[in-house]
Structure 1
Amino acid sequence: MQVQSVDLINKTTLPNASNTDVGHCNAHCRMVLITLYGMVLLGGITGTAWMSCLMFKRNNQSMIATIVLNIMVLHTILLFSLPFRLSYYVLNVWEFGPFSCRLVSSIIYFHMYFTFVFYVAIVILRLLLYFKKLQMQKLQKCHVVVFSIIIWTVGGLIFLPFFFLQYGIDPSYLEQAQCFEFHKDLNQGKFIILNYSIIVIMITTVMTLFLIQMGVIVQLIKALWPDMWAHQEYRAQIKSFFFLLVIVVCFIPHHAFRVHFIQNYSEIENSELVLYNEIFVALTTVCCLDMLCFIGGVIH
């Protein structure tokens, strides 16, 4: 009779345990994230440091260089946060307190959306120059500096209140030694609307710019073939295409999966989606390798 009762307890408790544990990153998930974040940390530090030295030596004060400098600052902020993430996935416990968890978690989104804005700014700027809607002679470095200050100020005014008043403040988060699992917030309608709005804006912007950019490149190929690589205009548009490609590879998969995640996430039945979501979030950090691509000659 005692054996039967033990078996009954095991049958009733083990399924529930698997359902709750699957929401946390398992060993395989941690190994993927450790590898991905480790690669980004090493490659990002190398690329950002090397590009900084090159820009300092050349003393390039162009508009594009100023925007690239903003991107490098964003990469640096993210790279400082990655050791904390690696520590968590190696030790499988968060030892830095709930506020630090919220901060490190939010930095990855802060980096993604600010980087997206500066990537798009480079693409739009080069398109405007190509279509003669903007003249290089009329633009000065101060204009881009002012633009950068506006982006950081507006972004800060949006990000800081959201971080302190809304992000990850559910009391249940304070009761666990886990981190980066703020998916319970998606049960709130305002966060669902916010996520859908961001997804629509990002995908629409990328698709529109991608089509325009491809049209420009095709026109340049027709006009300059076969010596298009000898022309600065063609190389500039290819660089813009590279930034769009980074967005498509690193940012769009996360947002496309986000739609599926919001629609199908259930804390009990589909909590394995949390694991996939963490991997897609980690994929957004791969954009930190963009400077290595420039240095390595992929976009020369």
Structure 2
Amino acid sequence: MNETWNCTVNSTDVLPDRYRYTLLAMYTVIFVVGISSIALMIDTLKSSRRSVTTMAVLNLIAAHILFLLTVPFRIYFYICCHWDLGSGFCKLISAMIHAHIYIVFIFYIIILVVRYITFFSRRDRLEFYRRVHALAASVAIWVVILVVIFPVTIVEYGSDTKKEKYQCFDYGNALRGKGVTIINYLLCAVLLLVTSLLLAVQLWILGMIYKKYGNTALSHQEFWAQVKSLCFVMVILICFAPYHAFRIYYVTIIFSEADSHLELQWNNEIFLAVTAFSCWDMLIFVNTKRWSSIQSRCAICR
């Protein structure tokens, strides 16, 4: 019994304390702030349900909630330093953070593309013809994710990796397969290229607005609307791009060398944890009026 709960006996080689404490702190903050930021977005539910952007944001919130439900289990592992909830459940929890990255990335692209279209077409918003069409579009996206992609990921993720029963989130050896390596390279390349394209387009649009209004651009709502879009691009750039850039190096080393590279593996876990800070993106939608309302309520409570 003592051996099971002793981190220094069981898993120092697998999970050094400096990484364990860092990951524990990161996921705890991610969970608390992530839940709080989503709670602040309750007003979004009152917006037009036919708006493409609104539906994308609602689906984005759903993706964040699904992921945040798995974070307490990660916190549990980093506190106890062992896993006794089953290997299948470990694969599910471990795969969820990867699924979260690409699901969120898809909805970011939808939100940004819609905002770019409305900017160039000079329209207030893009809307579905009926609410049922918006619902059907959302269902179609989630059917592909949950029925096609996600089950395959769960079945194949870490299927060739043998681990001790107390370990979890330790699937580095699964990257030694040639097919898995190619898929990782493709995913990293696509995300980094799309991110670069989105950043270039966003900066171009901001340049156009500044050229149009000059030094008075800061006083125009059009400028701040595009700053909000820039914030989404920056979330991708800060949270997702570093992980995928490091992932290329990580996969190359794991695939080309026979050693386990545990230090490299846990560095990868740190970069992976950074992607979860994207759960804070709902703070982008919390406008000044909302913050003023929150501050007023806090003042009344005091």
Same topology, TM > 0.5 = yes
Higher relative contact order, chain-length normalized (CA < 8 Å, sep 6+)? 1
Contact 1:24 1:274 (C-alpha < 8 Å) held by counterparts: no
1:80-119 CA deviation, whole Å, 9 max, x = no partner? 1011000000110012111110010011111110000000
Contact 2:37 2:283 (C-alpha < 8 Å) held by counterparts: yes
Q: Is it true that 1:165 corresponds to 2:155 in the alignment?
A: yes
Q: What residue number does 1:218 align with?
A: 207
Contact 1:43 1:292 (C-alpha < 8 Å) held by counterparts: no
Higher-Rg structure is 1
Q: What residue number does 1:177 align with?
A: 166
Contact 1:45 1:79 (C-alpha < 8 Å) held by counterparts: yes
Contact 2:84 2:165 (C-alpha < 8 Å) held by counterparts: no
Match of 1:255 among 233, 238, 244: 244
Q: What residue number does 2:299 align with?
A: none
Distance 2:274 2:11 in 1: 23
Q: What residue number does 1:272 align with?
A: 263
Match of 2:21 among 31, 45, 65: 31
Q: Report the TM-score when normalising by structure 2.
A: 0.84
Shift of 1:135: 8.1
Q: What residue number does 1:50 align with?
A: 40
Q: Is it true that 1:93 corresponds to 2:93 in the alignment?
A: no
Q: What residue number does 1:5 align with?
A: none
Contact 1:66 1:144 (C-alpha < 8 Å) held by counterparts: yes
Cα root mean square deviation, aligned: 2.6
Distance 2:234 2:161 in 1: 40
Contact 2:64 2:279 (C-alpha < 8 Å) held by counterparts: yes
Distance 2:137 2:221 in 1: 25
Distance 1:33 1:109 in 2: 16
Q: What residue number does 2:298 align with?
A: none
Aligned partner letter, 1:34: L
Q: Paired residues, what number?
A: 279
**What is the percentage of aligned positions where both structures have the same residue?**
29
Q: Is it true that 1:246 corresponds to 2:212 in the alignment?
A: no
Aligned partner letter, 2:15: C
Structure 1: state its 5+ residue gaps: 1-17
Distance 1:137 1:292 in 2: 23
Q: What residue number does 1:189 align with?
A: 178
Superposed structure 1 runs of 4+ greater than 6 Å apart: none
Distance 1:296 1:181 in 2: 40
Contact 2:92 2:154 (C-alpha < 8 Å) held by counterparts: no
Contact 2:161 2:171 (C-alpha < 8 Å) held by counterparts: no
Shift of 1:186: 0.5
Q: What residue number does 2:295 align with?
A: none
Contact 1:67 1:144 (C-alpha < 8 Å) held by counterparts: no
Structure 2: state its 5+ residue gaps: 1-7, 292-302
Distance 1:127 1:250 in 2: 22
Cα separation, partners in 2 of 1:23 and 1:158, compared to 1, 3 Å: farther
